[in-house]
A and B are shown apart, each in its own frame.
Chain A
Amino acid sequence: MNDCHRLLILMVLFLGSVFTAAGQRKAPALVTANFRNADMEQFVSELEKQTGLYFYYDPAFTDSIKINLSVTSQPVEKIMDMAFAGSDFYYSIDEEGEVYITKGVKIRVSASSKSLSQDNSNNQKPADTVIFKEKDPVEKKVQTAPAEYKVIEIGSRNLIDPKTNRATVAGYITDIKTGEPVSVASVSVETLKIGVVTDQYGYFSLTLPKGKNTLLVQGIGIRETTRKIMLYSDGKINIELENIVMVLRNVTITAQKLSNIRNPQMGLLKIDISAIKQMPVVFGEPDILKAVTALPGVKTVGEASTGLNVRGGSPDQNLILFNDVTIFNPSHFFGMFSALNPEIIKDVELFKSSIPARYGGRLSSVLNITGREGNKKNISGSAGIGVLTSRLNIEGPLIKDKSSFIIGGRTTYANWLLNLLPDQYKKSRASFYDIDLSITHQINKKNSLYITGYLSSDRFNLNNDTVYGYHNKNVSVKWKHVFNNKLTGIFIMGYDRYEYNISSNKVPFTAYALSFDINQGYLRTLFTYYLNNKNTIEYGLSSIFYKLHPGSYLPDSKESIVTPDRIPPEQALETAAFISDRYTFNSKLSAEGGLRFSMFNYLGPQNINSYPPGVPKTEDNIIQVIPYSSGKFIKTYAAPEVRASLRYAFNDSFSVKASYNSQEQYIHLISNTTQMAPTDIWKLSDPNIKPQSGDQVSLGLYRNFKSNTLEASIEVYYKRIRNYLDYASGAELVMNHHLETDVVGTKGKAYGVEFLLKKTNGKLNGWISYTWSRVFLKMDDSTAGSIINKGRYYPANYDIPNDLTVIGNYRVNHRFSISLNAIYSTGRPFTLPIGRYYYNNAPRILYADRNAYRIPDYFRADFSMNIEGNHRIFQKTHNSWSIGVYNFTARKNAYSVYYVSENGSINGYKLSIFGSAIPYVNFNIRF
């Protein structure tokens, strides 16, 4: 008899989760006891103590009973007859002295049940869970009828509640080989057109009519399967699935095939890590953020930049989460590579129009990067060697099937290569590394624990003695608790830190060290309540405590005459409560509505500069400096944020969606450089710097062709931004004790239309995206500072109207594929000189309106080949090569255009960063 059958019987026998009490098997004894309002637990434990019997019962069904009984030397059967008289409780005692208390039905005790209960010595295992293995690779000889053809009974026919004809089935979908959860798998009942998608933990909950149902499980890279269930009452089913073996753990680019039409969420883009790995990239470093920039609506100001501009937002308006930790600077090497190790990442989701209410604090988007969970079955790993970096990751079980770890690290070895450079570069040094660690522990079926740690570090100097360093440090602990089939809760606690430092000590007299850091500690809760098939409710709280050290400038040698300067630390509390409901009116119409109420308290101790109303904030206009004591609430900002979206599906392959979204942002990255620099500073809102706020409406049409393998979509949006901080002309941002004087609050507007055509399967896959969009800023309030461009709207630095991306992959066979990227975009705006004049014996440049002209357009094409080793499953290692050429047309794209006065004349220059074709080779091994 195989496992399934045994467990099935067990399930039928044991109703609800089973509690057992210790005892010894003896001949039934007589009992003397006096029960006063005793509940089932007290009752049973007294009987067990006196008789040595084992009792099995479900507390959930027996908590209503109160027993009032006084007995003297009575047999246990008599006592139970008396106690249960008039109720619908029944009991059965088997030969081994085990007592089953049931509600509604009396069970027959058989020999098989007896042996079962002995086998199943792990009584902690909730017996109503059916562990159903599709195919056990170890026991290949066992002849099993395919799981698809069996009827699995869920719940108990004895527990049928006549008041409702529906019941909820929930459970986890996991990978049979690694034990990792399978997220975004679709679990549906085709006949009813009811379906849900598993969350990142592989969890799903589905309310169905009682009776016979067929669950269809579909997902990316897994073999589609069905389960026939007979649903009696609420219960669980865990399904272990097989991968499609031929592509190992990684598969082709796919977004949620079913959900792009069905999901009310708009503007959610998802890329699987395997798609990212196929894309040709500079130096062959698979790069998550670069891949995201290939999506419609996402731009970047330059190819050496990992700052994302999502729908006209600035880079700091993106919340970048890696397993719930906030990454403040996701880049290495001053922005050339992203600081996230692709080897340990499962997928990347970008929310750019309707952002779920559970996320907040940033205006433009949420980039949710989900790490892989470690292999729960065996130790495995992978390693890779590239031109610039090497990486290694190891994963495996800590306790088999229960807990696992995954650790990944990358490092660069550029220093020795820098020595090969001509003399003028020789003094350059660059190094970086990053380490990611995730631990997953399944405490029991209802509780799981996830621990994430992240560390990234960069050190860099180029041709001089000034050393730049910057570091991310993050840790989080997450506890997931399943209260019941309908309610799950997630509790997250963590700490994020970002710091940078610059030091120079070549000249001891002026040696200095400059440093900055931002810290946040947070606590978040998220409850998901599957009310019924029509409503899924999410609610929770989030609280962040910020502590910033906005700058210290200290002498770095004994001789140094640098005056120590410290900007006092800033602290604040950001709290938010949110609730949202996803409501399905019918199979065509569904909606999601959410409300998030956020509050920001700027806390003492702090000295606040006070400016009179109606005059520009300048140093001269400071009328008073008001000191606040520690813990004092200096300024509170609060605002409701609305998240709403609507979907109407005309049929299975055509839908229309609309959404409205509003956001508040209390923390700002202040920069006056073209691209996000590691030395840009983060600033909290304070009495002088208002929070940024924004809202967006968007509308989209989604149409799938060729049985959902070809997806097309059009989305339009219009967005308003208030109090976006732009730098004042000639702003000094480093070590500024009154930053409010050097930034100006601008109004912004952004609009655009995005087209996406995506082919998800087949030998040829990939996507074409085209975006037309504009973003303008405006500063017209002369009382708030100096007006920019005479108070007219001016294009933001990242206003890039046309953007066309083609990402293609052609799988020649299972071992060989080729990929091609082509990217065209309008040049970004820059401030062009309009004239010249002489000053201080040299020609000088007269600049006029900010961002009035554009640098030349951008075009790039890349090519790569991915070669897999052989695909036999049972070999020790699997290896793969990727060989490619970045920018194979060798076009010298302008990164920036600038003018300098040199040797008595004014010369314009165009700077290209990757101005030639850059070949690369990357070798990966998986074990």
Chain B
Amino acid sequence: MKKLFKILFSSLFLLACKKTYISPFNSPDLGYLVVEGVINSGPGNTTIKLSRTTQLTDGTVVMESGATAMVMDQNNQTYPLTESSSGEYMANGLNLDVNLKYRLRIVAGGKEYLSDYVTVNDNPPIDSISWNYASDGVHLAVNTHDPRNKAKYFQWDYVGTWEFHSAYIPATKYASNDPYFVTYFDPIKYWLDDSSRYKCWQSEASQQFILGSTIKYAVDTISNPLTVIQPASWKLSVLYSIDVRQYAYSKDGYEFLNKMKRNSEQLGSLFDAQPSDLQGNIHCVSKPDEIVIGYVSSCPIREKRAYISNADLPGWGYTSGCSLMVQNNDSAFIRDNDYYPDGVTPHILPVNYITRNPSTPPPNGVIFTFTAADIGCVDCRLKGTSTKPAFWP
């Protein structure tokens, strides 16, 4: 009976019946211009990304290279942006006069695009980035207040960076003259010479829109959730750092982002709003009907970084998921089995010796049996970069 009720209720409660839908309709290849970025009125960088829309089934990102982009003020003074990498147009330290209005001018694909003039929005500095260690993970939040009560609409994005280590420090390696034979390897030397295989970093940028508004609050104070790091996640196995950037928007700009967020992140429940078309503030001069996606806005971009260490999280419970296997040092076996499934690049690396020729101690002599582990457990570069970020402590 209990089971029957479960069946009844899982079917009532919607999520049980969500299935992948493959559209029978082909979407056209339209290639509309997409403009993303904020004119940074402060000392930092201004980056405007230009790209094109693609077919729904086409997963590639088509950046718009070779375009001209510039910021213009009301007095027609221009601040050119230069293409720093494909489709990314940058200017350094514009330090704009906040009393003027600005717009973006783009020439791409032989057409001229102009945004509406926008005022520079107030954007107070970020007060703090706080975190809270709960049973369902570490909750990170950004805290801001505007004593002047002017900034009401915020967007944040962040880049999370974390250090992580390989599970094992090897004391053996494949011999340089015989890639299928395991020889000694000095772990001290490894530390000194080849630390790049042990200590790595990975980073990840926010993908969801993080939007918040103080319009419904009496005081211009907001504590907005950023992300949750799942319990025992490798992101906090050593040290995690988050770099949060804060943008302030006008009501219209905020609405634009909110619509885009709702259109792509918040649909599907029974009472969610239906998708709506986006009206940005950028227009094609020669063809006003053409769809241009993007809303140009300007403010001083605020940035703040915070760190969380594994030491602050008792019982975090990170495990590498790695395990060791014991193997005879047998070239033929190593060559023909999982160690080199393609015969060229190793997938399993030796970790330590178990038995060796007792008459010749390391670093010389022959190893009879050894332990081995998956390459990712020994060489961290498979899951990140071994280049230490410049800001890392």
Contact = CB atoms under 8 A, between A and B. Distances in A.
Contacts of B216: 512, 553, 562-563, 565
Interface string A837-851: 111111111111010
A894 B273 CA distance: 17
Given A838-B61, A841-B205, A844-B263, A912 B56 contact: no
Given A729-B277, A847-B275, A901 B264 contact: yes
B264 A835 contact: no
B263 A913 contact: no
A843 B57 CA distance: 11
Question: What band does the interface of chain B fall in when counting residues whose beta carbon is under 8 Å from A?
Answer: 35 or more
A916 B267 CA distance: 23
Given A905-B59, A914-B11, A840 B209 contact: yes
Interface string B190-214: 0000000000000001111100000
A672 B277 CA distance: 13
A899 B23 CA distance: 10
A387 interface: yes
B33 to A, nearest CB: 9
B274 A900 contact: no
Nearest to A853: B25
Interface in A696-753: 729-731
A731 B277 CA distance: 11
B36 to A, nearest CB: 5
A840 B157 contact: yes
Interface residues of A, number: 79
Contacts of B53: 835-837, 846
Contacts of A462: 13
A899 B267 CA distance: 7
Interface string B140-173: 0000000000000000010000000000000000
A94 to B, nearest CB: 76
Interface stretch (B14-22, B90-98, B118-126): B14-22
Contacts of A797: 274
Interface string A395-422: 0000000000000000000000110111
A910 B223 contact: no
B259 interface: yes
B248 to A, nearest CB: 16
Contacts of B21: 894, 897, 908-910
A908 B28 CA distance: 17
Interface in A436-495: 462
B219 interface: yes
Contacts of B55: 835-836
A165 interface: no
Contacts of A900: 264-265, 267-268
A425 B13 contact: yes
Contacts of B221: 561
B8 A387 contact: yes
A918 B20 contact: no
Interface string B327-340: 00000000000000
A904 B265 CA distance: 12
A725 B197 CA distance: 64
B305 interface: no
Contact of B25 (A832, A838, A850): A832
A51 B86 CA distance: 120
Contacts of B391: none
B2 interface: yes
Interface in B256-273: 258-260, 262-265, 267-268, 270-273
A912 B16 CA distance: 8
Contact of A841 (B207, B218, B265, B271): B207
A283 B9 CA distance: 11
A428 interface: yes
A834 interface: yes
A514 to B, nearest CB: 10
A899 B264 contact: yes
A850 B18 CA distance: 23
Contacts of B278: 729-730
Contact of A561 (B59, B219, B267, B275): B219
B9 to A, nearest CB: 6
Contact of B9 (A418, A509, A679, A919): A418
Tell me the dominant secondary structure on chain A's binding face.
Answer: mixed
A842 B13 contact: no
B141 to A, nearest CB: 11
Interface string A660-691: 00000000000011110101000000000000
A771 interface: no
B7 interface: yes
A914 B55 CA distance: 32
A183 interface: no
A835 B276 contact: no
B9 A417 contact: yes
B270 A417 contact: no
A679 B36 CA distance: 35
Nearest to A463: B13
Given A673-B271, A675-B270, A910-B19, A428 B13 contact: yes
A909 B54 contact: no
A104 B264 CA distance: 89
A901 B217 contact: no
A424 B7 CA distance: 15
Contact of B19 (A510, A912, A913): A912
Nearest to B207: A842
Contacts of A675: 270-271
A675 B17 CA distance: 18
B293 A898 contact: no
B27 interface: yes
B17 A912 contact: yes
A552 interface: no
A832 to B, nearest CB: 6
B27 A833 contact: yes
Contacts of B5: 417, 420
A855 to B, nearest CB: 9
Given A553-B216, A899-B264, A892 B19 contact: yes
A375 B74 CA distance: 82
A786 interface: yes
Contacts of A910: 18-21
A729 B51 contact: no
Contacts of B59: 843, 905
Given A304-B270, A836-B58, A908-B22, A847 B14 contact: no
A837 B293 contact: yes
Interface in B218-277: 218-219, 221, 223, 255, 258-260, 262-265, 267-268, 270-277
B27 A896 contact: no
Interface in A830-878: 830-848, 850, 853
Contacts of B2: 420
Interface string B39-61: 00000000000011111101101
Contacts of B275: 831, 833, 845, 847, 898
B51 A420 contact: no
A108 B58 CA distance: 104
B293 A839 contact: yes
A911 interface: yes
Contact of B274 (A674, A853, A911): A674
A847 B9 contact: no
A845 B11 CA distance: 29
B277 to A, nearest CB: 5
20 contacts: A334-B270, A424-B15, A561-B217, A729-B277, A730-B259, A730-B278, A832-B23, A837-B32, A840-B36, A843-B264, A844-B260, A846-B291, A848-B277, A898-B267, A899-B56, A906-B264, A910-B20, A910-B21, A914-B11, A916-B7
Given A900-B268, A913-B12, 17 more contacts: A418-B9, A424-B15, A561-B217, A561-B221, A672-B276, A730-B258, A834-B30, A835-B29, A846-B293, A847-B263, A848-B277, A908-B20, A909-B18, A910-B18, A915-B16, A916-B7, A918-B11
Lowest 6 A-B CB distances belong to which pairs? A915-B17, A729-B276, A912-B17, A910-B21, A908-B21, A730-B276
